[in-house]
Amino acid sequence: MAATQLTASPVTVSARSLASLRASSAKFSSFGTLKPGTLRQSLFRPLVVRAASVVAPKYTSIKPLGDRVLVKIKEAEEKTMGGILLPSTAQSKPQGGEVVAVGEGRTIGKNKIDINVPTGAQIIYSKYAGTEVEFNDVKHLILKEDDIVGLLETDDIKDLKPLNDRVFIKVAEAEEKTAGGLLLTETTKEKPSIGTVIAVGPGSLDEEGKLQPLPISTGSTVLYSKYAGNDFKGKDGSNYIALRASDVMAILS
């Protein structure tokens, strides 16, 4: 990725402005006690701002290798569901796009594992996955197949079809009141970690490349790790989460 460095310009301090400081030492809460002449430039690290790698126009195609796929990123939503225009700073980072190229797959044990996501498929991927590249003035993402959460054939997240060892859950409603009957505001409601499984992936691959079905079935009420997975909101206002089966801690009944 290209990187832009932002460094602070030198600051000149007059002798008069230093008169109030002791000549022997100066105390700073961040660094402890500093003696004159001991403050090194290495203590200040430059701020690095990362941007998408730009592919020069002389290149006409990108071919991902191994188990990687090339995804054309979906544009960020510019309006809310109510039609209110969002400033660029308030637009959420997209987590979906169209697969435009796939690698040749990978080898596990003696088995050759092909990528099971076809070109043209609309997918949802993990929020911080992959490497962003700009190709033909369009933003793309190169990521591993395992970073794909699922396939989405409609424009509503509730229809997500999870892949691999992912589980798709409809999150239970947060409690509206405390045990004592006090109403909770949206900011004080505790994030639920219980929900109903509405779809499961085909399973994970073992060390020999054989598919192992997940021990979780649709319709189950489960308890999952509180900070795992990717959160989504459906068109009906319901909350959903997609996470790995290993993040499901228990089945409730």
CA dist., res. 167 & res. 248, Å (int)? 9
What residue type is 188 in one-letter code?
Answer: T
| Residue pLDDT, tens place only, 61-87 | 999 999 999 999 998 654 555 555 544
According to the model, what pLDDT value does residue 94 have? 62
Q: What does DSSP assign to residue 77?
A: P
**Choice between 123 and 208, residue whose per-residue pLDDT is larger:** 123
According to the model, what pLDDT value does residue 117 have? 94
- The dihedral region occupied by 141, where left means phi > 0, alpha psi between -120 and 50, and beta the remainder, is beta
**Choice between 89 and 148, residue whose per-residue pLDDT is larger:** 148
Three-state DSSP state, 223: strand
Tell whether the model's pLDDT for residue 48 goes beyond 50. Answer: no
Among residues 195, 60, 96, 204, the alpha carbon closest in space to that of 146 is found at: 204
Q: CA separation (Å) from 122 to 25, 146, 184?
A: 62, 15, 38
Three-state DSSP state, 196: strand
**Choice between 29 and 150, residue whose per-residue pLDDT is larger:** 150
Q: What does DSSP assign to residue 55?
A: P
CA dist., res. 56 & res. 174, Å (int)? 49
- The stretch 97-106 carries a mean pLDDT of 96
Name the token pair of 129: 């996955």
Name the token pair of 62: 């990108």
**Choice between 234 and 91, residue whose per-residue pLDDT is larger:** 234
**Helix residue ranges per DSSP H, the chain:** none
Are 146 and 164 in contact, with CB atoms under 8 Å apart? yes
> Confidence class of residue 218 from pLDDT cuts 50, 70 and 90?
very high
**Choice between 31 and 201, residue whose per-residue pLDDT is larger:** 201
For 137, what's the count of Cα atoms within 13 Å in the CB-facing half-sphere?
0
What residue type is 40 in one-letter code?
Answer: R
| The model's pTM | 0.69
CA dist., res. 64 & res. 2, Å (int)? 19
CA dist., res. 96 & res. 125, Å (int)? 6
